[in-house]
Structures are given as structure tokens and as C-alpha cells.
Structure 1
Amino acid sequence: MVFPAQVADVAAPSGGNVYDRRVSRGLSSLGWNVDEILVGGDWPRPDAAARAKLRTALDNFDSGEVVLVDGLVACGVPEIVVPAARRLRVVVLVHLRLAAETGLSPVDRDDLDRREREVLHAAHSVVATSPWAARELAQHHDLPVNRVHSVDPGVDRSPLARGTDGASRLLCVASVTPRKGHDLLLDALLTIDDLDWHLVCVGALHHAPEHVTQLRTRLKTSSACEKVDFVGPQHGDELEQSYDAADLFVLASRAETYGMVVTEALARGIPVLATNVDPLPQTVGLAPDGSMPGLLVPPDGLATALRSWLTESDLRRRLRTSARDRRGMLKGWAETSNSLARVLTQVTRSSPPSG
């Protein structure tokens, strides 16, 4: 397994990092001999030293070995990965298409898309993190559907969140970048400043510093400046405390491939308000009685949905009941590891590369 070096930093959590760590441990527990290699660099556009380390790592594997590479590492460097795939069984794990990241120039977006397509066509198999993401990858890059597999993230069962007052404490867990839509969320909240609410934003602040500065500047000039906290990344007990205090989980993403934080909230019985971008409707899912454990709306519907949540006690009661019922349906990480193991077993049984 070849992962970006930040996977090992539990103080800088992300869905992709958590996924990589959990499947690595999960495969080991299933009896797989896992050799985990971490490569530093500014992926997907690494410098010469990072490129050299990746090339050396791949060159050191015996021909025919199965090598699972995180797409953040693999998809930007076809000049390294494509030759390696001629002698290794390369499996690429794609958390997010490189060109789907927001804020890219058209030139960068097209270049990353071309590089990723070249890598994925050379790979033995491709793993995506939701059925929607698998279909989207296959269609976008014109890949054979039988080579693209969906392995959904798992979630740990957690105690029910106690909340604060049952309504006003809003929690968003996401790196503060344009793709995660914090600006959309703030736009909505500032239109309902007459109501009682408090938003806690947990997530890295260094990925898009200009974006963070713009958000903070806007807050300073508003009457809601004391109602929003950007607390940076959290993990362990600190993150657990943030979830435990939440009455409603909010996510205003412009794009997702799964939305692990949604199931993290539902695992604690917290209702979810999210934008209805694919695949979030499937991630939020339905409770056993067919009710939705939250609200899914377009970006221009966030303000109305938030006002409804804050003012309608019957709605809050229904959504909390549904979220707690949905909690029992969530799948654990053991199932994720078993699903990935099945994909890798198919790869080991297939014909070796001819190069």
C-alpha cells in the first residue's frame, strides 16, 4: 500500500486519511501481509525528490505484486505509475477525482484530468468509495465497468450525542476549502441571524488560507461574528466532545464522493442537513420506516431548511427519531476491509502484467 505521508498524522484528519489507515489495519487483521509505504510530497504535483521516492518504492516491488496506491499519489504522475503497472498489479484507490477539486484553473483541471485518465487506464483495477463515485469514474474516464469497484467507508458505532439544547448547536466537520461550501453555509445562516444558533466548524484551516481569510473577514463585518467558531482540526476526545454537543450536523459541500462525516454524525444519532449533491442522498440514506434522518436541499434551500429546524419542534423530533433508527443500519469498517479484500483477491487471481 502506497499512501501520502499525511495519512500517518492523526492530528490532521481527513476522510481519505482515515479510510487509508482503517483498510490497512483491516487487511492486516484478515491475514494479508501489508507493506505500508508513506511518500511525502505535495501531491498530486510533487517535487523531484518525492517523485524519486515513489519511483524507487515501486521499483523495489517484485514483478506481479499487488500494489494499492492512493489516487492522490498515483493519478498525477502517469510517467511513474504507468510503467510500473506493466510489471505490477497496480490498484488505484480514488477518493476524489483530481479535477473535481474546486479552485483549479481550466488549464490545471484539464492537465490533471488527462494525467488521471492515463493512470486509471493503465491500472489493473480501480477502487472508488461509493457506487456513485465508481459509476462517475467509469463514465468520465471511459473505463470498463468491471475494472472499477465500489468499497464504501465504514463507521464506528458511538454513544448517542447528548446535544446542547436540542436545536441551536450546529456542527460542521470538514476542511475549510471552497469544495466544502462553508461560504454557502454562512450565507444561509446570516439570513437567519434573528434566530438563536451557534456554528462550530471543525477542520483544517491551511489548505485554502485565502478562502479562510475571506470567511473570517465577512464574519467580522456581520452581527453574527460571535456565533461562528472555526476551531481547526480535532481528533480523539476533542472531536468526540464536539459531536456529543451537536444538535444538528451541517454539510454544504459543492462536491463529495461519499461524505464520511455524515455517517459519523448518524452513528451518534445526530440529524443531518446537507446539500443534495451526489452521493450524499445515498450516504444519508433512510431509516427502516422509510423516513430520512435529515434534510437534503439545494444550496439556495439551506436558509429555509435551517429556519425550519430552528423553529419547528415537531420537525426536530421526527428527524432525531429517524437518525437514531438509521444509526443501527450503518456498516462497520470490518465490512469495508472484507469488501476490499475481495477486490484484491480477484486481482491476485488474474493474469499477471505482461511487461
Structure 2
Amino acid sequence: MPELVFAIPGDPERRTGGYLYDRRLSLELAALGWAVSPLRLPDGFPFPSPAELEETDRLLAGIPDGRLVMVDGLAFGAMPDIAVRHAGRLALVALVHHPLGYETGLEPDRAQAMIAAERSALAHARRVLVTSTTTRAALLDQFAVPASSIAVALPGTDPAPLAQGSGGDAPALLAVGSILPRKDFPALIEALRPWRDLPWTLTIGGSLLSDPKEAARLRHAIEASSLAERVELAGEVDTEQLATLLHQSDLFVSSSRYEGFGMALAEAVARALPVVAVAGGAVAEWMDSEAAMLVPPDHRDGLSKALGLALSDPERRARMREAALAARKRLPSWAETARTADALLHEAHP
């Protein structure tokens, strides 16, 4: 039975796309016969303290020579010196959801420093697993990772029941994601503001604790737009709660400025929900153009216009739903995700 140490920073039960991907990949690899040993790294990544880096170094030093170790990119790109020290004795594989320096809200100097650190760390990975062709292209162009070292394992989806919808005259909108600057939920509120005369409600499901400053900015945007009675901040939702929200929604919306893939969007398409979204990062590479209305990042008028069209035209939403019914059959399965990872891991450690 092949063995794999899977190193993930922080609480592995966190409900973000990256952590959900890691958990599911671990289960699917185990189903393929891998003995997966989880290794919890300190919480501070991608901005670790010196003490947290020292602890990470100690944890990796405790792994016997010759072992295959996959490190989640939230940590790998922020530990280049540690990667250098252990690359000679461990078979290191990096799992990159999206480059760390691409996170919204970073000061330019810090973003460039993070890109340089991740480029250095990736030079010491035997193989790199990524979650989209967009991330693959970024690693080829800006991080000098050889094409032969990269494999794309798109996030999978499970078969899901079709969304029933709200059943009311006011379309129920749903947005999902931790309240972070990259998700830019205040832009979504601003885009909905001109359509106060139309009937609709919005639920935002995502942790309000990840970035208290951004959560405060979102609450201010809601109050300033006089939409407090229309918008519910549901906080972090578990699997069952998310399934219920998706089932009772009429339209999925996203204002995220960058996505390494967009797993919440895929969950919506799996239920044949029509989508209005900012096409940041990898979204446009896989999203069916008939099932969604996509607008470029920083095109707030375009997002507002798309939302207005979707809200005011039930027939348009019905056509998008029909396209999503077909598109959901083309979404990859988690078994496909695991098979790609399995092949890459065997290459890294024959």
C-alpha cells in the first residue's frame, strides 16, 4: 500500500473550498489504496510567525527519509527555506489552489515578496498538483514550474438533486464564501442597490470571523444601501445547511475577484441553478456560458446590469437553468480528481 503524508495548515475542518478539496482528496486517495497520514501544520499560514516556521520545520524533520509528502499550497509557498532543507530527503509535492500573492488586498511589495517566496519553494517540489488550468498557466508563466511537473486535478462534484427554488415571487439569491477582500461582497451589495424596486432577497453564507475588518465593511455596505431587510448574513454554513440553501434558491451570485476554480459555483451548477458571477481567475475556463452571465473583474456596472437582467426576466433565468441542466452532466467527479492526483503522486515517488 503506497503511503502519503498530507500536510495541511490550521484546522482541517474549516469550511473553505481549499480545505473541502483537501478533505475530499484524502478520502478518494484512500479509496484508491493510499495510506494517507494527515499532518497538521501551524495555524498562521500563509503569514507564519518565526515560531510557526520553526514548528513546521520540526514537524517535517520528524518524517522519516524517503517519504512522500504533499503540502497544501497555503503553507508550501510560504516556507521556501524549509522546502530547501527537506527536498533532498523527502519527496515533496505541492498542492496549489491559487498563488498566494494573488490574494486581494495585499500591499504590492508584500504580494511580490510572496510570489518570489512561492517561486523559490516550488523549485524544490518534485511535482505540483493544481486545481485549474488557469493556475497551471500562472505557474508556467510566472513561477518557472516545468510543464512536465504539473497536473491539473479539477475539483469534483457529487450528484445532487435539482434546486427547487424559493417558490415565491421574489427570487432568492445565494452567495457563498468566507467574508474576505477577494470575495468582494460589498461590490455585490453595490451592484444590487439599483434594483431595490425589484422583489428579491439575498443570503450570504460564509464565515464572518476570517477577516473582521472585511465583515465590518460588508455590514456597512448593507446599511448604506438600505438593504438590511433584503440581505441575510448566515455566517459559516455546514454541509446540510448549504444543501438546503442551494435547494431553496433561484439564482447563484458571485462577486469574487479571483478564484482558483470556484467550487461553490460548481455546487450551484450541479443543482442546475442559473449563475451571475464575476469571471475572476479560473471561473470562465469551465463555466458554461449559457448557464451563467459572466462579467470581468472591476466591471461593477456590468455586474449590476447582469443582475438586473436576471432579476427582471424570469424567462432568461429559465433558459439559463436549462443550460445548467446540461452543464452539470459535464462536471468532473471526485473519482476523476483522485485518479489525476494518484498518477502524479506515483510519478513523484515511483
Which of the five TM-score ranges fits, normalised by the shorter chain? over 0.9
Matched-pair contact (CA < 8 Å) for 1:268–1:327? yes
In structure 2, the residue matched to 1:310 is 311
- CA shift digits 1:176-220 (9 cap, x unpaired): 111112122111100111111111000111222112212212322
Structure 2 residue 86 is matched with structure 1 residue 84: yes
Q: 2:132 aligns with which of 130, 133, 141?
A: 130
The match for 2:230 is: 227
Aligned match for 1:268, one of 268, 271, 278: 271
- Paired position in structure 2 for 1:21: 23
Moved over 6 A (4+): none
Matched, 1:2 2:7: yes
CA distances 1:28-66 after superposition (whole Å, capped 9, x unpaired): 111112111112221022234432332122112232221
| Paired residue type of 2:140 | A
Q: Gaps (5+ residues) in structure 2?
A: 1-5
1:202 and 2:200 matched = no
Kept after mapping to 1: 8 A contact 2:257/2:279: no
Instruction: Kindly provide the amino acid, as one letter, of the partner of residue 3 in structure 1.
Output: I
* Maintained 8 Å contact 1:90/1:123: yes
| Structure 1 segment 45-194 matched on structure 2, within 5 A | 45-165=47-167, 168-194=171-197
Aligned-residue CA RMSD (Å):
1.5
* Alignment deviations for residues 92-117 of structure 1 (CA, whole Å, 9 cap, x no partner): 00112111111111222122111111
- Look up the equivalent residue of 2:199 and give its one-letter code: D
Matched AA of 2:213: E
Q: What amino acid does structure 2 have at the position aligned with 1:338?
A: R
Displacement of 1:277 after TM fit?
Answer: 2.3
Q: TM-score, normalised by structure 2?
A: 0.93
| 1:137-174 Cα shifts (integer Å, max 9, x gaps) | 12111221111221111011111111113761000001
The answer (yes or no) to whether the contact 2:278–2:294 under 8 Å persists in 1 is: yes
Residue 276 and residue 236 in structure 1: after superposition, are their counterparts in 2 closer, same or farther (change >3 A)?
closer
Which residue number in structure 2 is paired with residue 352 of structure 1? Answer: none
Residue type matched to 1:171 in 2? L
Distance 1:183 1:200 in 2: 13
SS of aligned partner of 2:37: coil
Match of 1:353 in 2: none
Q: Which runs of 5+ in 1 are unaligned?
A: 287-291, 350-355
CA distance in 2, matches of 1:236, 1:98: 26
Structure 2: how far apart are the matches of 1:303 and 1:195? 13
Q: Secondary structure at the match of 2:35?
A: coil
Identity of aligned residues (%): 34
What secondary structure sits across from 2:308 in the alignment? helix
SS of equivalent to 2:40: strand
Do the aligned residues in 2 keep the contact of 1:163 with 1:246 (CA within 8 Å)? Answer: yes
Compute the TM-score of the two structures, normalised by the length of structure 1. Answer: 0.92
- CA separation in 2, counterparts of 1:126 and 1:72? 13
Q: Which residue identity lines up with residue 230 of structure 2 in the other structure?
A: K
Q: Which has the larger displacement, 15-24 or 131-140?
A: 131-140
